[in-house]
């Protein structure tokens, strides 16, 4: 009985550990404005051994009173985009006047942080491979069309010249 309990407990811990490794914990800790720059500080603590993985970090502007208001932050630098952004005191520097020249349109804007783990092959690889495949297909199609349009091709080569012209 003790052995069955131990095996069941180990299985439960394995399942719990496998489930928790797919999760990540992150939160915005501070947002402050300095001139035309908004500085967002956040912490990102992945669960499990995912601290060396690449993550995609993005921020959206939302409003609690208007669910249709949703703007993706651009013109930002720092710990945003694709990279190894794990730990406390991660910073995003947003030059908001470049994206919103008139300033922030409302006083009740909220910043929504999204962090997802990058998995698999990046999208640009798929686009490049697809373009190469289309290019190769077009080349072979056009070369086949050229052969069909020229008719029969002679495989007999002309002989050498008989003599030198004077």
Tell me what percent of the residues of the chain surpass a pLDDT of 90. 22
Number of domains the chain contains: 2
Indicate the burial class of 38 (C-beta count within 10 angstroms; 0-12, 13-18, 19 or more).
buried
What's CA 79's distance to the chain center, in Å?
14
Q: Which pLDDT score is estimated for 21?
A: 41
Kindly state whether residues 109 and 45 are assigned to the same domain: yes
Residue segments in the chain with a per-residue pLDDT below the cut of 50 = 1-22
Nearest Cα to Cα of residue 29 among 113, 98, 100, 93: 113
What 8-state DSSP symbol labels residue 117?
E
Kindly state whether residues 130 and 111 are assigned to the same domain: no
Q: Is residue 1 part of a domain?
A: no
Kindly state whether residues 130 and 105 are assigned to the same domain: no
Q: Is residue 35 part of a domain?
A: yes
Residue found under tokens 């697809």: 130
Tell me what percent of the residues of the chain surpass a pLDDT of 70. 72
Tell me: the pLDDT tens digits for 34-72? 988 999 999 988 877 667 788 889 999 998 888 899 999
pTM: 0.56
């Amino acid at each position: 009985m003790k052995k069955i309990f131990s095996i069941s407990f180990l299985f439960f811990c394995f399942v719990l550990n496998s489930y928790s490794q797919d999760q990540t914990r992150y939160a915005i800790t501070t947002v402050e404005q300095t001139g035309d720059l908004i500085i967002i500080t956040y912490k990102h603590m992945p669960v499990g051994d995912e601290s060396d993985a690449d993550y995609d970090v993005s921020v959206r502007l939302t409003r609690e009173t208007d669910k249709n208001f949703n703007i993706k932050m651009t013109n930002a630098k720092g710990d945003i985009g694709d990279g190894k952004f794990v730990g406390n005191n991660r910073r995003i520097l947003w030059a908001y006047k470049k994206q919103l020249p008139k300033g922030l349109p409302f006083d009740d804007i909220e910043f929504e942080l999204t962090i997802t783990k990058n998995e698999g092959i990046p999208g640009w690889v798929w686009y490049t491979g697809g373009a190469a495949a289309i290019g190769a297909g077009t080349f072979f199609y056009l070369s086949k069309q050229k052969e069909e349009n020229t008719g029969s091709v002679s495989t007999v080569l002309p002989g050498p010249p008989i003599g030198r012209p004077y």
